[in-house]
Every structure is written in C-alpha cells, then in structure tokens.
Amino acid sequence: MTDGEDEAWNRETVPRVLQIVGCRLSQRDLCSLLLVSRWCSRALVSQQSLWKALDLREANNAGGRLISVLSLDRYQVKKINLEFARDIDDDHLLLLKSKAIGQLQNLESLNLNGCQKISDKGIEAVASACPNLRILSIYWNVRVTDLSIKYLVMHCKRIIGLNLSGCKNISDRSMHLIGSNYKNLEELNVTRCIKITDGGLQHVLLDCTALKSLNLYALSSLTDRAYEKVANLAHLTFLDLCGAQNLSDHGLSCIARCKSLAMLNLTWCVRVTDVGVIEIADGCRSLEYLSLFGIVGVTDRCLQVLSNNCSKTIATLDVNGCIGIKRRSRDELLKLFPRLVCFKVHS
C-alpha cells in the first residue's frame, strides 16, 4: 500500500468502520482506541457512548478524575462505575454535587461497590443530585445506615434496582421505606443485612410485587413467615436463599408458586427435604439453575421428579454433600438431566 493509499484508508475507511463498531464497544475500549491514532480519535470522539458512561472501576485517584471529567459539559452521563475505587469519599460526592450537578441530572446507574469511605452524607449528596437514578449498588459498606435509604426515597423516585449486600446497618426501617416507595422495584440484594427480620422483609414482599431478582444470601434468622410471602412475586426469576437455616418444606412450597423461577440457590437450607424440592419441581418448570449443596434430607426421589419436569431446562445442578442422593456421578446426573453443563457451584 502506497503512502497515499494508506492516508486514504486512515481518513476514509477507519472512520466508517469505527462508526459501525463504536456503538457496541465499552467505554474503556473506546478510550483505548482513542490513543491508537489521530484518525481513531477523530472518528470516536463523536460516539455518544463515550460521553454517557464513566468507568473508573479500581482506578487510582478516582475521586479527582471523576470531578475533572464531569466538569466537562460534553459529559451527560447515564452510568458511572466506581466499584472498588477506594479513594472515593463523601467529600468527592459533595464536590461533585456542587460543581457538576448539570451532568448528573440524567444519571441512571451508579456503582459504589466497595467504596467504604462513603457514608450517609455522601449518599445524600448523590440522591439529591441524581433525580433520575434507577440503579444503585453500594455493596460492602458498613457506614451506610437507614438514613441513606431515607434520602434515596426522598429524591430518587424511579429506583428499580438496589444492591445493599453487606450493608450491615440497614434494618427493617429501610425495608419499610423501600416497600412503601418503590412499587416497581425489580432487583433487591440484601445479602448479610443481618438487622433485617421477617417483618421488614414481609413489607417488601407484599408491596414490591414486580421483583424479578431477590438475594437473601446468609440471612439465617429469617423464617417461613417471610418465605411464605415470596409467593406474591409472580415475576421472580432469581432467588438466592443460601444459608436459610429456618426454611422448611412449607416455605418452599409457597416459593414454588413463582412459576417463572429460573435460578434457585438452596445451599445449606438444612431443613429442606424431598417434599419441598418436589414442590419446586412441580411448580417451577422453567428451572435452569438449582443448588441443593449440603442438604442431607434430599434423596434420589426428588431428583427423579426434577428430571421428569425440568430435564429440558436445568443446566446447572449442584448436589454435592447431599448424602441421601446416591446417583451423584456425572454420568448418572447426565442421564437424568441431559442439558447439564455445570455440576458444582460451591467448593
């Protein structure tokens, strides 16, 4: 290729190709391509996705970079990822509110997972600056309390996804606020929120009937009083009950009314027996993922019923540690569930 042909290729072909593929690339990939050549930079700088998302996951000096970037008028972000950007603190969020509130008006998704320096004060700043927020994730934050949820329901009326996993100071008060204000909530993760009781969770399960995903991992104090109300969630597709030590066959029979359930984690649900699993097999015939890990009260009997009803859908099945199940080899399970591709989800 001559120099002239090379120049024409860069000037004409490269921009056309990048215009086609640019809308399918992540923001990080787009930013990397900006550095390849001036032709790439010119072609990509007009891509809207470059200015609607900000990914600073695990970034150094994320707080300063966040403020610098959002000071540019061209950024009208819809999604910000600050996961494990550990230098982020309340002061950054307060400064962001005062300097870049215009750029935050259309923010829909904010990931603050692992940002442990943020407290209720920072969440208040975010909530008041982002009225169109729909998804908030604040996993592993022990400084956040019910006050944060109060600020959220005051300012952000469109929330459909909340990840509060590991926020150990979230209590029933937050559950009441969520239930009363977020009727259209689709995803809720309250893993290890140990202050939540049956009463608080019931409030959510009775009011947030649009829930599609519910994660109750490691909430061992909950009982059938709460699990019975899961039956209200007609759209539920994902349910994690790992460690639900008080879940009985009766509670599981109520959960079996969730006909759309595709993923169910019953790891270490030690009171469950064949009776409850057979109820699930009869009621949830679209099941794709099921973990019975560590349950000694289940036998080959429930596996046969699961095979009869769900063999065409189940692709993941973990029966390790289920000493009552004798047909546990890979070949034996494949005879019952020919679509199985994953036999172990816990170690």
CATH number at residue 315: 3.80.10.10
Question: Pick from 15, 31, 50: which residue ends a domain?
Answer: 50
Instruction: Print the domain residue range for 313.
Output: 237-346
Model pLDDT, residue 188:
98
Model pLDDT, residue 7:
64
Mean pLDDT of the chain, nearest integer:
91
H-run or E-run covering 240: strand 238-240
Is the pLDDT reported for residue 34 higher than 60? no
HSE toward the beta carbon, residue 211, CA cutoff 13 A: 27
Model pLDDT, residue 269:
98
Structural domain contains residue 142? no
Is the pLDDT reported for residue 145 higher than 80? yes
Distance CA 200, CA 196 (A): 6
Instruction: Kindly state the tokens that stand for 99.
Output: 């300097």
Residue predicted with more confidence, 252 or 32? 252
Residue predicted with more confidence, 315 or 47? 315
Distance CA 249, CA 118 (A): 41
Residue type at 66 in one-letter notation: L
Model pLDDT, residue 38:
63
Model pLDDT, residue 100:
85
Is the pLDDT reported for residue 17 higher than 90? no
Model pLDDT, residue 293:
97
Q: How confident is the model at residue 101 (pLDDT cuts 50, 70, 90)?
A: confident
Model pLDDT, residue 192:
97
Is the pLDDT reported for residue 39 higher than 60? no
pTM, two decimals, is 0.89
Contact 220, 245 (CB under 8 A): yes
> What average pLDDT does this structure show over 278-294?
98
Structural domain contains residue 178? no
Structural domain contains residue 133? no
Structural domain contains residue 73? no
Model pLDDT, residue 86:
86
Question: Pick from 10, 29, 50: which residue ends a domain?
Answer: 50
Model pLDDT, residue 181:
98
- Helix, strand, coil fractions of the chain, as percent rounded to 5: 45, 10, 45
> What average pLDDT does this structure show over 285-314?
97
Model pLDDT, residue 9:
60
Model pLDDT, residue 24:
63
Residue predicted with more confidence, 333 or 12? 333
Model pLDDT, residue 258:
98
Structural domain contains residue 17? yes
Structural domain contains residue 95? no
Structural domain contains residue 159? no
The secondary structure of 263-313 as a DSSP string is EEE-TT-TT--HHHHHHHHHH-TT--EEE-TT-TT--HHHHHHHHHHHTTT
Structural domain contains residue 28? yes
> What average pLDDT does this structure show over 295-304?
97
Contact 53, 79 (CB under 8 A): yes
Model pLDDT, residue 41:
58
Domain count, the chain: 2
